Structure 1
Amino acid sequence: MREEYAALVRDHPIPKQHVATFLSTNALRGAGNCATSHDGAAHARRHRQQRRWATQVIVTDELARQACTERGLPPPDDVLPMRLLTVPETDIADLGSIIAAALAHSPAARALLADLEREQHVPETAVRDYYDRNQDRFLTPDALRRGVDPFNTVEPSDVHPYEHVEDGISQQLRHAAAHRAFFDWLDQARADVVYAEGYEHPGDPSQPDHEHRH
């Protein structure tokens, strides 16, 4: 029966039809329409990569669901929606398209990320170091209006006091650390996933048309 499945996630099957439905109802459905009859190979390649991409989003959702269960987190209220939600371009640039899409669509992935963030500890020295090295991010509105150059000498009054921004920096650093932990978790969690032919990771170097984008 394995030929009916796009992937097996710890023996949990991801039906090929699930991937096909996801692709047919989300924003990628028209991505290959620019290919003409004179470029059938490019059209087929794009379709394969879209299918592999969609498989990874669905696999990430299933892995996250299993991780939430193992961590004793409340079951997610929803399943991964078939219709693609809007994924901010900045998230795609920062996280890669697969993880950005999974976090946008999968309640389980978001619940896992939040749990990972609660585990992160950022020492005060790291927060202070970030503040000292990124003075340009903490200029006051008045300093910005006057065009103060943060990379030259800056008066103390031109920068928000450390005590006023410490909590925000700490939260930002915990958030970044949680994303790194999520990346590490996903790399390990999907190592044992078994894929059907044509549904492998789009960046799998064993595939002749692999891509390095995630």
Structure 2
Amino acid sequence: MSGPTDAVPGTGQRHGHRHPGGPGGPAAVVAGEEVPTARVEALLSAVPARDRETRPEALARAERQRRRWATQVVVTDELARRACAERGLAPPAEVSPARVPTVSGTDVADLGSIVAVALAHSPAARLLLAALEAEQKVPERAVRDYYDRNRDRFLTREALRLGVDPYGALRASDVLPYRKVREEIVRELRRAVARQAFFDWLDRARADVEYTAGHEHPGDPSHPDHEHRH
């Protein structure tokens, strides 16, 4: 299960009309406090460019988008720090921009590149996601329904050895009993619901963030280079 990742919240996000910040200026403003451009620069230095453009104009565009992408990662970290403080969660250790976040292709597909890298980069974002996951209550009916609809995922080793068609008519002996897989299903569903809660929180939290020119969301249609890429 996955949610609406990397979404631009309609007209909710404010991008302001601030002038681009210098090396010590802001990339964005969160609740009246500036997020220094230096934090974005540090992340850009740590994460290699994935674009392999050679034409000058294409390379310049790719770098502009990479800066906007990095700004979203840094802003997500800042918002998560504030959310943790509001919840009384222990302040996480400082982020080390020199550490290149390791993000799997599966996480990018499930979460979107911004959220996936933000979670890898930000201890506060991970702490917040863990808190949201701990809050989720998965109804028994939902767990049982998932088991009944996804029997192909719970084949026994013997059924797999015999090459039983997972989408055919399965016998009871081909499938692991519900009691043995119930906790695994609960963890998976709780994780999926928590991720959706994280997406919803992030959309609300960044709705009032103001960005300086050149640091807008990469999918914001108000700037000419916009794109919505995962």
Which residue pairs with 2:77 in the alignment? 61
Deviation at 1:77, TM superposition (A): 2.4
What amino acid is aligned across from residue 19 of structure 1 in structure 2? V
Deviation at 1:25, TM superposition (A): 2.3
Q: Which has the higher helix share?
A: 1
What amino acid is aligned across from residue 35 of structure 1 in structure 2? E
Deviation at 1:82, TM superposition (A): 3.6
Deviation at 1:49, TM superposition (A): 0.5
Distance 1:77 1:19 in 2: 18
Which residue pairs with 1:151 in the alignment? 167
**Which string of whole-angstrom CA distances, capped at 9 and with x for unpartnered residues, describes residues 150-175 of structure 1?**
22211111100000000110110000
Deviation at 1:80, TM superposition (A): 5.0
TM-score, structure 1 as length reference: 0.93
1:210 aligns to what SS in structure 2?
coil
Deviation at 1:149, TM superposition (A): 1.1
Q: 1:58·1:80 contact (CA, 8 Å) conserved in 2?
A: no
2:123 to 87, 92, 107: 107
Q: 1:81·1:106 contact (CA, 8 Å) conserved in 2?
A: no
Change (3 A) 1:190 1:80: farther
Which residue pairs with 1:72 in the alignment? 88
Distance 1:80 1:92 in 2: 21
After TM superposition, list the pairs within 5 Å mapping 1:4-153 onto structure 2.
4-28=25-49, 31-32=50-51, 34-36=52-54, 39-79=55-95, 81-153=97-169
Structure 1: gaps spanning 5 or more residues = none
2:201 to 181, 185, 191: 185
Which residue pairs with 2:7 in the alignment? none
**Which string of whole-angstrom CA distances, capped at 9 and with x for unpartnered residues, describes residues 104-138 of structure 1?**
11110000001101111110000000000001100
Instruction: Give aligned-pair identity as a percent.
Output: 61
How many residue pairs align between the two structures? Answer: 209
Distance 2:73 2:135 in 1: 24
Distance 1:52 1:83 in 2: 20
Superposed CA RMSD in Å reads 1.5
Structure 2: gaps spanning 5 or more residues = 1-17
Q: 1:204·1:211 contact (CA, 8 Å) conserved in 2?
A: yes
2:29 aligns to what SS in structure 1?
strand
